[in-house]
Chains A and B, each alone.
Chain A
Amino acid sequence: MTRLLEASDVVVEINGKRIVDRVTLSVAPGEIVALVGPNGAGKSTLLRTLSGEIKPSAGTIALGGRAIATLPASELAQCRAMLSQHTTVTFPFTVSEIVRMGASPWGKKQDLEPLVARIMASCDIAHLASQIVTRLSGGEQQRVHFARSLLQLETADDRFRPGLLLLDEPTSSLDLKHQLALLAIVKELSATGCAVIVVIHDLNLAAMIAHRLLMLRGGTLFASGSASEVIDDATLRQVFGVADATGIVPNGRPFVLPHSGRIV
């Protein structure tokens, strides 16, 4: 299978501290990869490095066969979109204005209206279009920025599509319904060939959506594989220091039940 994103031996050091330690990974078009692991494992830093935002201290990252360090920002923005964990807006932009900021000015000229309307409806923010974004709840703001990153992918020039979507804790502020809705959109995207890398804390959501889980511990890749290969008692005990928290649902997928877990 051809690889869309290939990172090898990536090291990130910030202020002399090694946050990401020789991580090698690759992602194929249409694949959903979840980055999981305890707080401070380097998940967000790794994601921001894969996006090109942080320059790695060592190692190489290639997107579509080209080193991302050599790509201009305008081209990189058409290959991948990124939803950051927190985005603060200082001026009174409306929801609709924020979403439209994602529209790529470099792609083919098209009528944005139907696209924007469809994306805003799918993210359940159409009714908020003329609201000031800073007055919305955290979850609503998260959906607005998610919609912005979707528009960015959809307005990229055709030679860069379907691209790569990087999501940092996209469900952290969402209620149950909107968590499921967002993950459904991610599934649909991957079906069109878009690759997705998602940092996610909830192991159950990760198991539900990802084709492959990468578990990080202390900046290194500790385990990698399908949900049933990665989520088991032995791994959770070593990585999170929690025992007896996993089970298997009838369809064979593992689940994590904090109720039964204990800290070891």
Chain B
Amino acid sequence: MSTLTAATAAQPGATRPSARLVIPLLLLLLLMAFLIAVMTGAAGIPAGRLFDALFNFSAADGQIDRDRLILWSIRLPRIVMTMMVGAMLAAAGAIMQGLFRNPLADPSLVGVSSGAGLAAAVTIVLGDLYLPMIAGRLAIEALPIAAFFGALIATFALYRLSTRDARTSIAIFLLGGIAIAALANSGIGLLVFIADDRQLRDVTFWLLGSLAGGTWPKTGALAPALLVVAVAIPFMARGLDLLVLGEAEAFHAGISVQRLKVVAIVVVAAATGAAVSVSGIIGFVGIVVPHLLRLVIGPAHRLLLPASMLLGAALLLLADTAARTIAAPAEVPIGIITAAIGAPFFLYMLLRQRAVATL
């Protein structure tokens, strides 16, 4: 019993020595990613000018003015939005994996992102017809809400499809996810077909996945969803832990399972919907980030969920910084980078997961 210390009582996840350090370390990583991201770009801002560019609003220096303009109106909104998207995609993945008791669950793999994308595409293409009075504000406010409902419907359908008698079939879960994604993608295809030129440009943006459109209003539109995720985490953590043992076990331990599942589905949909509405479909963040963290800090959700948000924010920010610099002045679509890293990772997990390999 010597391994049990006083600290482990407060935190069920802290039996691993690395667990207590993970939040400060991830904050440090996020800070470093942030500094790299603000300094690099088409117009580099060296460390020596960074402080003035960020905080010196009164200087009448041409150089500082130019740096400040680049930072505050172009680079910072994109950086902040990227961090929020990364945090929400990683949290959505981790929560989904707990809900479906399956480490291979990811919103982009099983059709949740496609559902959100379809709803966004419907809003773009048909919104002009049905929502003329709010057409001017469409992109900022209607899109995240539509995407939320698209993600909600997809997650709920997936849940109903794969769960019978409190058991989730992994095979039906993955295959059902493929079917939902295919259905949503065919809907997106139809909308592309009937869209006019301006709408086509907007819809294509979702299909590729990009963080280039980051603006302060979009960042603001993401904030409520991020808040929902952050507030829900402490209330869901114990329930998701117990759900890993099965719905019956969770119920026996006092979890109101039905309510937990509804909350988890709504949070996944809010996070995925909001992320997709501003950045399109960016895959694999939700699967890579929680898996890496489980290896280090274990699967307890009280720590896993906030840590996933921090690591998701840092990794997506680094990936996006790479996306906009490696082929400068052109941009590599971010979806290509996350898929290039995430898809082999997924295959590696699939091979290790013998229960899944035999279905």
For the A-B complex, the count of residue pairs with Cβ-Cβ distances under 8 Å equals 98
Min C-beta distance of A119 to chain B, whole Å: 11
B16, B253, B300 — most chain A CB neighbours (10 Å): B253
CB of B169 within 8 Å of the partner chain: no
Proximity string of chain A (79-97) to chain B, C-beta cutoff 8 Å, 1 when within and 0 when not: 0011010011111111011
Q: A77-B254, A130-B3 are in contact. Are A87 and B294 (CB under 8 A)?
A: no
The interface size bin for chain A is: 35 or more
Cβ A117 vs Cβ B4 within 8 A: yes
Proximity string of chain B (1-17) to chain A, C-beta cutoff 8 Å, 1 when within and 0 when not: 10110101100110110
Cβ A73 vs Cβ B244 within 8 A: no
CB of B326 within 8 Å of the partner chain: no
Q: Which residues 247-269 of B have a CB within 8 angstroms of A?
A: 248-249, 251-257
Closest to A102 in B: B253
Q: Please, could you name 10 A-B residue pairs with CB atoms under 8 Å apart, sorted by A? A: A51-B252, A73-B251, A73-B255, A77-B252, A84-B246, A84-B252, A88-B246, A91-B299, A96-B15, A120-B1
Cβ A90 vs Cβ B244 within 8 A: yes
Residues on A lying within 8 angstroms of B by beta carbon are: 48, 51-53, 72-78, 81-82, 84, 87-94, 96-98, 100-102, 104-106, 111-113, 116-117, 120-121, 126, 129-130, 149, 152
CB of B52 within 8 Å of the partner chain: no
Count, chain B residues at interface, CB 8 A: 32
Report, nearest first, the 7 A-B pairs whose CB atoms are least far apart. A77-B254, A91-B299, A82-B252, A74-B254, A90-B101, A73-B256, A100-B12
Closest to B253 in A: A77
Min C-beta distance of B274 to chain A, whole Å: 26
Cβ A129 vs Cβ B246 within 8 A: no
Provide the residues of chain B in CB contact with A89, threshold 8 Å: 244-245
Min C-beta distance of B114 to chain A, whole Å: 25
Q: A73-B255, A90-B244, A113-B9 are in contact. Are A97 and B298 (CB under 8 A)?
A: yes
Cβ B4 vs Cβ A116 within 8 A: yes
Provide the residues of chain A in CB contact with B257, threshold 8 Å: 73
